Structure 1
């Protein structure tokens, strides 16, 4: 498999988008009590997966600037599976471990399903816009 060359001219767009996405995630998690942060992170990841699928569906192989800014940047900064993993790891003590692990598996399933839905809708929007 051949990798596409790095498009250095997109780096400022990706960085700016990433800053926006991280700031949005920070604000949303700051709005909920500490006991709900793991749930907010889960919601952020599912919604971000849906939106990333939509962006990928609309942009396809075209629109590298928008894909870089919105996809890799904004939504890449918005979603955070590493923070979710740390939050889950911190909550896996005691008798709730099975529930926590089941919830983690459910999150992955929901996020992938959301991404697929976003791809389908985004591709349909792109086709209708091109028609």
Structure 2
């Protein structure tokens, strides 16, 4: 089944459905962990981006050879809607504009580092658990 290409309409529908779910989950996290980027580290944005990157690492391994709509649904849709590079960027700019330059720099670098580590950890752990090279 994985060899069959998915039609553009089916891919778009999968991305839309997944994106709705991911965006709703992101909104929920923002409600549970509200923040003002001008007063400190935006922990909720950092958390969703790190968790999303960990899950994309897991997905890359588990989706290989599976249904052709799995990656668009879960990767582009759910995780793309859940994670938020735009909010991260705005948070860095707002922190810098409010004079918290060290916090802005640490947050900018820390988010990128945590994203890279999370993706790598997700891939590594999933390969180990699933017994894949």
TM above 0.5, one fold? yes
Any residues of structure 2 matched to 1:101-116 within 5 Å, and which?
A: 101-116=105-120
Whether the 8 Å CA contact 2:35–2:43 is kept in 1: the answer is no
Written as runs of structure 1 = structure 2, the 5 A alignment for 1:69-88 is 69-88=73-92
- Separation (CA, whole Å) in 2 of partners of 1:100 and 1:61: 40
Deviation at 1:78, TM superposition (A): 0.3
Q: Which residue of 1 is the match for residue 49 of structure 2?
A: 45
**1:3-22 correspondence to structure 2 within 5 Å:** 7-8=7-8, 9-22=10-23
SS in 1 for 2:66: coil
Point out where structure 1 has 5 or more consecutive residues left out of the alignment.
Answer: none
Q: 1:14 to 1:124 in 2, by over 3 A?
A: farther
Q: 1:93 aligns with which of 86, 97, 120?
A: 97
Query: For the Cα contact (< 8 Å) 1:58–1:125, is it kept in 2?
Result: no
State the distance in 1 between where 2:76 and 2:34 align: 29
More helix, by proportion? 1
Whole-angstrom CA distance in 2 between matches of 1:106 and 1:83? 15
| TM-aligned CA deviation for residue 37 of structure 1 | 8.0
TM-score w.r.t. length of structure 1: 0.82
Q: CA deviation at 1:61?
A: 4.6
Moved more, 41-50 or 118-127: 118-127
Per-residue deviation at 1:99? 2.5
